[in-house]
Amino acid sequence: MDTTPALARPRAPGRLHRFANPGRFLRLTDAILPWLAGLSLLVLAFGAAWALFWAPPDWQQGETVRIMFVHVPMAWLAMGGYLGLAILSVMSLVWRHPLADLAARELSPVGAAVTALCLLTGSLWGKPMWGTWWVWDARLTSVLVLFFLWLGHAALVRAFDDPERGARMGAILALVGALNLPVVKFSVDWWNTLHQPASVTRLDAPGMHVDMLYPLLACTAGFSLAFAALVLAGTRAAVMERQLRTRQMAAARRAA
């Protein structure tokens, strides 16, 4: 009779697996999460005030340019988050990390949400500035594909009765979809698009005045911390849920 919960079984020793132990993960994040959540609220409040009140308007876009302070962090998080999903998928496929599966499962709904916000704010910005809500240029289309990849991953990992099988399928989808990441990033350089090229991550100086760049970076830091806090909280809940289920199964077997 095996009463040890499957997740608490000792793993092979090694530096990589030190953080994969769910018990250690729960203890560590229990200490970190309140600080992370508090810090993200603080930075977000400061960044929002800076962006909305102290940053100057653009010389030709006027006050509309403030949409950028939400749109750009959401776009960066959509892509950075997807890179995270791809790394988790490699860990899941190669090293069979149960924790990577759970984190990927909790990451994709948040990733889909930020990508949706990126598309929505972009549309709201495009109408007054470009004169259209939407065009099928390479940048906009590839970000829409990214959104569908996030949604597809979120749905696929939940579509199987066996969660491990779902995680395997989701990881394969995420890795195939990772091909879209360079397309999103370089679409504005490879093809001519209505969307403008990158302003901040250029080889020469950023094409943005520092009075707008610094509040943008502050907002990005705030949104990234909030993103991390949300995903971490979701992963914690998923780990605890799984531990609970394993214990209930063991108890049921003992009673039988």
Partner 1 sequence: MTRKKRRLYILLLCALGLGSATALTLTAFQDNLVFFRSPSDIAEQRPPEGRAFRLGGLVESGSVERGGEYAGRPAIRFAVTDGANRIPVVFTGVLPDLFREGQGVVTQGVLGTDGVFRAREVLARHDETYMPPEVADALKRSGHWNPAQGAPPPAAEWNTARPRS
Residues that bind partner 1 (CB under 8 A): 56-61, 65, 68, 90, 93-95, 128-132, 135-138, 175-176, 179, 183, 190-194, 196-199, 202, 204-213
CB of 91 to partner 1, least distance (A): 11
CB 218 within 8 A of CB 51: yes
Query: Would you tell me how many other CB atoms lie within 10 Å of the CB of residue 104?
Result: 28
Torsion angle (degrees, nearest 10) of CA 104, 105, 106, 107: 40
Comparison of 26 and 90: residue with beta carbon closer to partner 1: 90
Backbone phi, psi, residue 58, to 5°: -85, 150
Residue 205: both structure tokens together: 């100086």
The single residue listed with the structure tokens 């990158």 is 198
CB of 118 to partner 1, least distance (A): 17
CB of 77 to partner 1, least distance (A): 20
Comparison of 35 and 95: residue with beta carbon closer to partner 1: 95
Element holding 256 (H helix, E strand): none
CB of 26 to partner 1, least distance (A): 25
Residue 234: both structure tokens together: 């979701």
Report the phi/psi class of residue 155: left, alpha or beta, with left for phi > 0 and alpha for psi in -120 to 50: alpha
CB of 138 to partner 1, least distance (A): 6
CB of 231 to partner 1, least distance (A): 24
Comparison of 5 and 47: residue with beta carbon closer to partner 1: 47
Comparison of 65 and 77: residue with beta carbon closer to partner 1: 65
Comparison of 59 and 256: residue with beta carbon closer to partner 1: 59
Q: 129 by DSSP, 3-state: which?
A: helix
CA 30/CA 34 separation, integer angstroms: 8
Comparison of 149 and 228: residue with beta carbon closer to partner 1: 149
Torsion angle (degrees, nearest 10) of CA 253, 27, 234, 33: 160
